[in-house]
Chains A and B, each alone.
Chain A
């Protein structure tokens, strides 16, 4: 799971309706896997990213720092886009777990796949 997906996942346990995002990552095994650099895609993505969450998650995982705010010249800022590319699309969490800040539910990540399935009583 890359951080682009983490940026969108929320807890969906029954009645967990507030404070269910972002899921806190723990015991993460991180792997960097090279991906094709596509600046147009990144520029399209920019307005969709919850930026503070991405910055925080990158920091927690000990990734190279990304700016606290999206720079104004982001679209043409090659260094910024390269950095974002690496954090957003090349950083894979292979093992670990995600914990809901509200209800404490644990979602495991195994072999790169987050398991968001719930038990019958949690739906």
Chain B
């Protein structure tokens, strides 16, 4: 499948109608999701015929991109988001599973190594400090081969250090821009998602990272 074709399909995905601030629910845009998955598939062969997990899948844009190219399971804490993700799947005739769970607490021992690749657009940990690293650590524990994730560039040094500690490789695949509203809200290309975002947006730098085991 061509990149443009994948992006075109993803553009029809429904996103959060009423995003929850405590979960930092910012949708991954079709543009970004298509590129993330396309890179993982064509450059690293991490998607096709593989089992893919989407940690904090939200409305499932990354999951759906993964499932167009491979097969996977989405995990999220928010039933409303998962319901939208499920509807998106139905709309595209995509057969995948979603599990409602709190990834910061869930024990997923049996998934260890069963999921080959984990993709995620995690919360940046601005509402619940450190949640980004908790999810990343868990993803690295579970994934058999690799983890693809988005993180603030300002945390790159810390993440690199942690990756070393955890004994995994870490590579910056791309530097992206996200918009910052007030001092703690981030968004990818979708302005004015939250009602109180009245101020002009400020761009922040985001890394697209690949961790390899």
Binding-face segment, A55-63, A64-72, A74-82, A114-122: A114-122
- Which bucket holds chain A's interface residue count? 20 to 34
Partner of B114, one of A8, A40, A111, A116: A8
Q: Are B95 and A112 closer than 8 Å at their CB atoms?
A: no
Give the distance in Å from the alpha carbon of A2 to the alpha carbon of B101 in the complex. Answer: 16
Q: Are B49 and A114 closer than 8 Å at their CB atoms?
A: no
B71 within 8 A of A: yes
Give the distance in Å from the alpha carbon of A21 to the alpha carbon of B95 in the complex. Answer: 24
For window 1-56 of chain A, which residues contact chain B by CB distance below 8 Å? 1-2, 4-5, 8-10, 12, 21, 33, 35, 38, 40-41, 44-45, 48
Which residues of chain B come closer than 8 Å to A9, judged between CB atoms? 99, 110
- Which A residues are closer than 8 A to B by beta carbons? 1-2, 4-5, 8-10, 12, 21, 33, 35, 38, 40-41, 44-45, 48, 89-90, 92, 111-118, 123
For this complex, 17 residue pairs linking A to B, each with C-beta atoms less than 8 Å apart, are: A1-B99, A2-B97, A10-B109, A12-B105, A12-B107, A35-B95, A38-B71, A48-B51, A112-B86, A112-B98, A113-B98, A113-B100, A114-B99, A115-B100, A117-B100, A118-B102, A118-B105
